[in-house]
Every structure is written in C-alpha cells, then in structure tokens.
Amino acid sequence: MAGSYRDLIAWQKAMALVTEVYQITEEFPRREMYGLTRQVREAAVSVPSNIAEGKGRQTKKDYAQFLYRARASLYETQTQLEIAKNLHFLGEDVFTKTFAKCVETGRVLNGLITSLTP
C-alpha cells in the first residue's frame, strides 16, 4: 500500500477535526478537565491515529480494521460533542460547525473503507 498516511484526505480531515476539538474544549468548564474534556479529546485523537496505524499494516484487511476503529472513535466524538451541546458547554453555532467537520470526515473515511473492502 503505497504512499504515506499523511497523503490520505481522511487523515487530513481528521487532523483538522482534532485540532478544532482541542480548541473548542479550551472553553469547557475546568471541572470537566478529567471528564468530558478528556474523553472528547481522546476520542478525536483516536480518529487520525487509527487511520495512520492502519496505513502501516501489512494487509488490506488489517488496514480496514483500523479504519473501522477510526470510524467508531469518530462516532464517539460526535456523541460527546452532542452531550457538550446539551450541557451548554458548546453554543449551537460551534456545535454545528464542528459536527459538520465530523460528518465530512466520516464521509471520506467511509469512502476509504469501501475502497479496501470487497
């Protein structure tokens, strides 16, 4: 599987998403530092990390397995962002913008998964 994980649009979009998640969670209440803030950051970091790790695997099957993990982490991120919105840690506009990045990342990630699976 030629090329670098850094060339993958899915990885690039996931990196932009994790950067945004870190920025928006700076505004979360301090009491959430070890709660929701940590959880949403870890989930977001897991998305590009799993894409990169999968790219380094020997077989397409192994690669796809890591992409499935990335997608699961993306869904976890989306859920946690929605929780943050419901708790009023995020405004509607910030939530909508960040959630749209999640959806776009998922669309590209699903395309990558489809390209690897028979």
**What does the domain layout of the chain look like in residue ranges?**
8-116
Contacts 24+ apart (CB under 8 A), 47-54: 47/14, 47/17, 47/18, 47/73, 47/74, 47/77, 47/105, 47/109, 48/11, 48/14, 48/15, 48/17, 48/18, 51/5, 51/8, 51/10, 51/11, 51/14, 51/109, 51/112, 52/5, 52/11
pTM: 0.95
Instruction: Encode pLDDT of 9-34 as tens digits.
Output: 999 999 999 999 999 999 999 999 99
Q: How confident is the model at residue 117 (pLDDT cuts 50, 70, 90)?
A: confident
Instruction: Encode pLDDT of 47-71 as tens digits.
Output: 999 999 999 999 999 999 999 999 9
Looking at domain 8-116, its CATH architecture is Up-down Bundle (1.20)
